[in-house]
Structure 1
Amino acid sequence: MRITILGGHAAYPTVDAACSGYLVERDGFHLLVDPGYAVLPRLLAGTSAHDVDAVYVSHGHPDHCADLQPLLRIRALTDPDAPALPVFTPRGSLDRLLAIDEPGLIDASYDLREFEPGAEFEIGPFRAATWGLPHWLPNAGVRLTAGGRMFAYTGDTGPSPHLVELAREADLLLAEATFADELPARYAGNLSTAAEVGRYAAEAGAARVLLTHLWPRVEPAAFVTAAGAGFTGPVEVAESGLVVDV
């Protein structure tokens, strides 16, 4: 299983970095996870829009899903007879995004497969298990298993006992860590710190941690230090272009 970081910023992109976006590959299958703002140009630098086999969207905030729309536009306008792209997401998460275009233009380009968090299903070679995690919008963290390897991704989340279940013995945990070690009151219950990630990753027995969804232009070293206070395994920040083989 190979994971390529296409972007890892929270809220908005910058000239040199995209919001959340991750490409997960196995046996030639390309799964795009959370195509947020500015992810599509990074994806197209190495992968054709028509090579994407499925999309998983954790929740409906635009920094996690906005670039799905131009991806579907490319597929609809350049090969309208291509098979519809399976798109997995919690029920209702993409209603507004999929309604912004000319009526009917992209309808045949996707196959919307909505689910209730907690569901399990197959995505190509991956077995996906999902957990509902606390956020302002319904958010589904996911664990992908293939070939005896496990990759876990939180989406955006506040504190939850389900995080330990999600990360249990994961070979790689990709975890939202918008703040290093102190969460401002307005974000309480809906976002996480790197320090919290370190603690639940240790409890879960995860092998390796990647921190993502950091604010643009923060100092990554502070986040690694905060997570490392509770987790003794490898910790990195999910920088654009990073490739991890699991």
Structure 2
Amino acid sequence: MRLTVLGGCGAWPAAGTACSGYLVEHEGYRLLVDPGYATLPKLLEIVPAERIDAVLVSHGHPDHCADLNPLLRARALGERPPAALPVYAPPGALDAVLALDRAGMLAGSFRLGEIADGEVGPFALRTFDLPHFLPNAGLRLSAGGSTLAYTGDTGPSGNLLDLAGAADVYLAEATYPEKVPEEDAAYLSSALQAGAVAAQAGVGRLVLTHLWPGQADEPALAAARAEFSGNVSVARAGLVLDF
């Protein structure tokens, strides 16, 4: 299994960056997870739009799904439009982004389904309800004996240990280094909290994502390492992990 980070900036893309976006590959199958703001240009540096096999969206905030629109445009308006792209998301999460174009413009370019436990290409998928401002699905993808666990955006939850349990890579939202503001504490996480979950769950590697725009990596890394003694990195465009 290979994970390629397209972007990991929270809220909006800072200069030269992209928001949440992850390409997950196994045996030639290309799965795009969370096509947030500015991720499509990063994706197109790696693979043509028509070569994406499916899309998973954790929740409906635009920093996690806005670039689904240009991805579908690139597929639907090209010289040889490919087959409909399977797209899976929580119910209603993509209503706004799919309404950006006139009715019928993207007809036939995608097939929308509810995200749920099952199989997506070669990947076994388990989903976990996690607390956020909108319905949010934590995603656990397994293939070839390897597992990637991804939180989307989340506050504290007992489900995180089940999501992350012994995963090879735990891709965890860490908007703040140590302390989440009180008004957001139920719906967002810190690097310190991500490190604690990684340690308890026995993951192989922790990758921090969704850092606040303009935030330096080191405070988040230091906070996570205070709890987790394993490998810790920050999700920046171009990071590639084979596991």
Unaligned runs of 5+ in 2: none
Aligned residue for 2:22, secondary structure, equals: strand
| Counterpart residue number, 1:236 | 233
Among the aligned pairs, what percent are the same residue?
55
Deviation at residue 15 of structure 1 after TM alignment: 2.5
Deviation at residue 4 of structure 1 after TM alignment: 0.4
Aligned counterparts of 1:106 and 1:143: Cα–Cα separation in 2: 29
Aligned counterparts of 2:119 and 2:229: Cα–Cα separation in 1: 32
- TM-score between both structures, scaled by the size of structure 2: 0.98
Deviation at residue 80 of structure 1 after TM alignment: 6.1
Aligned counterparts of 2:238 and 2:23: Cα–Cα separation in 1: 11
| Counterpart residue number, 2:178 | 181
Aligned residue for 2:112, secondary structure, equals: strand
Aligned counterparts of 2:239 and 2:147: Cα–Cα separation in 1: 18
RMSD: 0.9
Instruction: Indicate if the aligned counterparts of 1:80 and 1:109 stay in contact, CA closer than 8 A.
Output: no
- TM-score between both structures, scaled by the size of structure 1: 0.97
Aligned counterparts of 1:204 and 1:155: Cα–Cα separation in 2: 17
| AA at the equivalent of 1:73 | R
Aligned residue for 2:97, secondary structure, equals: helix
Q: What do the CA deviations read for 1:92-143 (whole angstroms, capped 9, x no partner)? A: 110111112111011210010113xxx3111101000000100000000000
Instruction: Indicate if the aligned counterparts of 2:131 and 2:187 stay in contact, CA closer than 8 A.
Output: yes
| Counterpart residue number, 1:47 | 47
Which one of 215, 218, 222 corresponds to residue 218 of structure 1?
A: 215
| AA at the equivalent of 2:151 | T
| Counterpart residue number, 1:78 | 78
| AA at the equivalent of 1:131 | F
Aligned residue for 1:107, secondary structure, equals: coil
Comparing 54-63 and 178-187, the one that deviates more: 178-187
| Count of aligned residue pairs for this structure pair | 243
Aligned counterparts of 1:100 and 1:38: Cα–Cα separation in 2: 16
Unaligned runs of 5+ in 1: none
| Counterpart residue number, 2:6 | 6
| Counterpart residue number, 1:205 | 202
